[in-house]
């Protein structure tokens, strides 16, 4: 049996390959596609390599999942689906198409906030996204959001800037999400792909992937998926609150901030799920908040004495210290922890890695997987600190110093620096 998670280099974003099946009949899933040029530099070359090494004319992807509409998860998937759509529209013969995606899971932005928002976003793409391309947020939008946050909530300029950056990524990502959905519709009309979010249905129509629409585990091509988030009641509450805000004040940057502050939603809409095969489990978290992940596990009856054991934990939100706590790592124990980030926005944060390590006994043996070398991550984190006109003190700020200190204290964890790296959980390894 093959059951292997392969994190790819994805800059500040997420891009994960999940290999499963058998050596004779291998299968592949894709979770998120990363930001900017990750499609060109990381994802497409790896897919081409897999196809060549497996000696197949067309590489089938059983499932492509966008964990949530956020620029640093969505751009690579947008480019993948644009390619598939163009091949269909240009009548490229099937044998000449390198890739085929059989299913797409994607909670579209307007499905989360209602169809009224879609027209609004179509008119604002230029405003929401920077002129540099790649779907990056417009800096002017980030500044406006930061001002709006401080006016509403007070707090420090640093906190406001961090939250504004997250919100702007989600807002800028709407165009990517809409593009993916449009491409899916063309593929679906040509019988090239299953219905959106299949097998989740409501009234015989594609359903939002939530705990309410997926109360039990579902089988997809031999893998078991148990949905832990988003939670149905939170999506419904968000929709009602957002609709009221729009009715009262109109669709403004402030409305987006109100809907997408870390204290309410940013990442409530992330698809959180346990993927299982052969008794091994991977917890995929997107950018979800740690407390929401714990609640999802609790509601699913999966906590044992308040704890959950898993083979792989994809640490949420690139290791941001605003999505996890020491308690989160005390409750969720993994054999492998994956932190996807290159230091941009400070992620992975030093506090997050410290909480993770300190949640374990020094004698525990487990693996921490970083998608970039420590030196690369710390160099970018240093730039982020200096941009705020603060001093960089390695002993206080550097991940490398933290890791070295914990190793000197006798901690036995293994550190993997830099993707690609395969986490083989099945009896058979991925050799392609």
What does the alpha-carbon distance between residue 347 and residue 75 come to, in Å, rounded to a whole number? 19
Residue 269: what pLDDT?
72
What does the alpha-carbon distance between residue 375 and residue 6 come to, in Å, rounded to a whole number? 21
Enumerate domains of the chain plus CATH numbers: 2-424 (3.60.15.10)
Helical spans, DSSP H, in 250-398 = 253-259, 290-299, 326-331, 350-358, 374-387, 394-397
Smallest Cα–Cα separation from 66: which of 173, 202, 171, 217?
A: 173
Residue 266: what pLDDT?
42
192 cis-preceded (ω within 30 degrees of 0): no
Residue-by-residue pLDDT tens, the chain, 432 positions: 999 999 999 999 999 999 999 999 999 999 999 999 999 999 999 999 999 999 999 999 999 999 987 888 999 999 999 999 999 999 999 999 999 999 999 987 555 555 555 554 554 444 444 444 455 666 766 777 777 777 777 778 777 777 777 666 666 656 778 889 999 999 999 999 999 999 988 777 788 899 988 889 999 999 999 999 988 877 776 666 656 655 665 656 555 555 544 444 445 578 999 999 999 999 999 999 999 999 999 999 999 999 999 999 999 999 999 889 999 999 999 999 999 999 999 999 999 999 999 999 999 999 999 999 999 999 999 999 999 889 999 999 999 999 999 999 999 999 999 978 999 999 999 999
What does the alpha-carbon distance between residue 303 and residue 297 come to, in Å, rounded to a whole number? 6
Handedness of CA 141, 339, 288, 11 (dihedral sign): positive
């Amino acid at each position: 049996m093959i059951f292997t998670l392969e994190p790819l280099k994805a800059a500040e974003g997420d891009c994960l390959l999940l290999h499963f099946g058998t050596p004779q009949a291998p299968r592949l899933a894709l979770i998120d596609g990363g930001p900017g040029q990750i499609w060109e530099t990381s994802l497409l070359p790896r897919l081409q390599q897999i196809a060549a090494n497996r000696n197949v004319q067309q590489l089938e992807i059983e499932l492509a999942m966008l964990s949530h509409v956020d620029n640093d998860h969505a751009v690579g998937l947008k480019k993948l689906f644009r390619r598939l759509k163009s091949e269909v529209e240009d009548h490229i013969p099937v044998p000449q198409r390198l890739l085929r995606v059989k299913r797409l899971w994607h909670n579209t932005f307007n499905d989360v906030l209602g169809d009224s928002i879609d027209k609004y976003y179509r008119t604002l793409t230029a405003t929401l996204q920077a002129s540099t391309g790649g779907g990056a947020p417009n800096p002017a939008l980030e500044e406006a959001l930061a001002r709006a946050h401080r006016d509403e909530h007070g707090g420090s300029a640093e906190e406001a800037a961090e939250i504004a950056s997250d919100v702007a990524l989600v807002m800028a990502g709407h165009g990517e999400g809409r593009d993916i959905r449009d491409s899916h519709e063309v593929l679906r009309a040509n019988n090239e792909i299953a219905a959106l979010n299949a097998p989740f249905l409501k009234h015989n129509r594609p359903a939002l992937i939530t705990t309410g629409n997926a109360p039990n585990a579902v089988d997809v091509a031999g893998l078991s998926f148990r949905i832990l988030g988003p939670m149905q009641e939170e999506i419904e509450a968000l929709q009602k609150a957002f609709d009221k805000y729009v009715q009262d004040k109109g669709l403004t940057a402030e409305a987006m901030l109100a809907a997408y502050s870390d204290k309410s939603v940013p990442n409530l809409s992330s698809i959180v799920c346990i993927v299982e095969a052969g008794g091994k489990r991977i917890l995929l978290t997107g950018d979800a908040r740690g407390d929401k992940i714990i609640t999802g596990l609790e509601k699913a009856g999966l906590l044992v004495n308040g704890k959950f054991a898993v083979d792989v934990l994809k640490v949420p939100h690139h290791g941001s210290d605003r999505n996890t706590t020491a308690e989160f790592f005390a409750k969720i124990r993994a054999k492998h922890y994956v932190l996807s980030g290159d230091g941009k926005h400070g992620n992975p944060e030093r506090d997050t890695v410290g909480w993770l390590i300190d949640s374990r006994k020094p004698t525990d043996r487990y693996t921490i997987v970083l998608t970039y070398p420590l030196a690369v991550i710390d160099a970018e984190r240093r730039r982020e600190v200096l941009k705020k006109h603060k001093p960089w003190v390695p002993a206080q700020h550097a991940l490398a110093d933290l890791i070295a200190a914990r190793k000197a204290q006798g901690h036995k964890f293994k550190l993997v620096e830099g993707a690609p790296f395969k986490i083989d959980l099945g009896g058979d390894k991925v050799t392609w």
